[in-house]
Amino acid sequence: MNKLPNLAEILQNTFQTLIDQFIEFVPRLMGGLVILIIGIVVAKIAAFVVRRILERVGFDKIGERLNEISVIKQLKTEIKLSEIVAKVLYYFILLVFITAATETLGVAAITQMVSSLVTFIPKLIAAAIMLQVGVLLADALRAGVVSLCDSFKIASGRLLGTIVFIFFLVITIISALGQAGINTELLESSFNLVIGGVIFAFAIGYGIASRDVMANILSSFYSKSQYKVGQIIQIDDVKGAILTIDSTTLTLQTGSTTTVFPLQALQTKKVEIF
């Protein structure tokens, strides 16, 4: 007959092992907590100092420029870059100390996870900088398109500016996600298909709708060298002195009234110069 195991001895060895591991773990736990407390203090001091320095050197003026963008205004939020940078620095320093604390504990899984977060933060900062620059560039391009359309008296200038802004903003977001290490191949393919279809449809629709405006603009390049303010001309049966010539129209002083012609009339109608 087999001899039964000594249960008392097994339980005693088990509890002894647990007690030994606990006694060995407590100093490491205390050391980890001390490192963590030191890390919190250091992170808070560093974040406070950096925020004060950035406020003094006027770093928040960039954030104020971002706050003026219409899209961000609609979000009803305020961007203060000094606080954002200080928060990022705080959590970065804290994660570094947490990594040291987990190494002290000897828990490999937690250490690896925290180390991955520490490695990810520089990529996240680079992506945030890229996104900020991209938003400013997209807004500058939007303003440029609106100004150009206004100078040529092209309708829907604000709509065109908004489309340009959204287009470059989406490109910036995709680039920022790629910088952060996120796979954007599917997003890029979908965006290319959508934007290609939208541009094609918009180009056809807007080209048909604005063909007369473009005809007037093209006519201005040929007509401005031949006609001057003050000249007396006759277009069909209307005779008068030229008051103004802009990018799309020509205004004649016809007695007590004025008559406005589209510039393409100088190319399509009979014009007499006196």
Domain 228-273 -> CATH class: mainly beta
Which pair of structure tokens corresponds to residue 223?
């007509």
Summarize pLDDT for 203-234 with one digit per residue, the tens.
Answer: 665 555 555 555 555 555 556 667 777 778 77
Q: Would the pLDDT of 48 be above 90?
A: yes
Q: 237-264: b or e for each residue (b if 16 or more CB lie within 10 Å)?
A: eeebebeebebbbbbbeeeeeeeebbbb
pTM equals 0.54
Q: Which of 59-63, 95-99, 258-262 has the highest mean pLDDT?
A: 95-99
Give the CATH number of domain 125-209; options: 1.10.287, 2.70.98, 1.20.1050, 3.30.1300: 1.10.287
Average confidence (pLDDT) over 260-269: 72
Q: Say which residue the tokens 């933060």 belong to.
A: 121
Q: How far apart are CA 79 and CA 71, in angstroms?
A: 13
Question: Position of tokens 């100088």?
Answer: 266
pLDDT exceeds 50 at position 1: no
The answer on pLDDT for 40 being more than 80 is yes
- Rounded (10°) angle between helices 185-209 and 157-179: 170
> What residues does each domain of the chain span?
22-106, 125-209, 228-273
What mean pLDDT, rounded, does the chain reach?
76
pLDDT number for residue 219: 56
Torsion of CA 203, 208, 212, 214, to 10 degrees: 20
pLDDT at position 169, please? 83
* Whole-angstrom distance, CA of residue 198 vs CA of residue 68: 28
User: What is d(CA 175, CA 127) in angstroms, rounded to the nearest whole number?
Assistant: 8
List, for residues 134-169, the tens digit of each pLDDT value.
887 888 888 888 888 777 766 677 887 888 888 888
**Interhelix angle for 81-105 vs 60-67, to 10°?**
120
**Distance, first Cα to last Cα, the chain:** 135
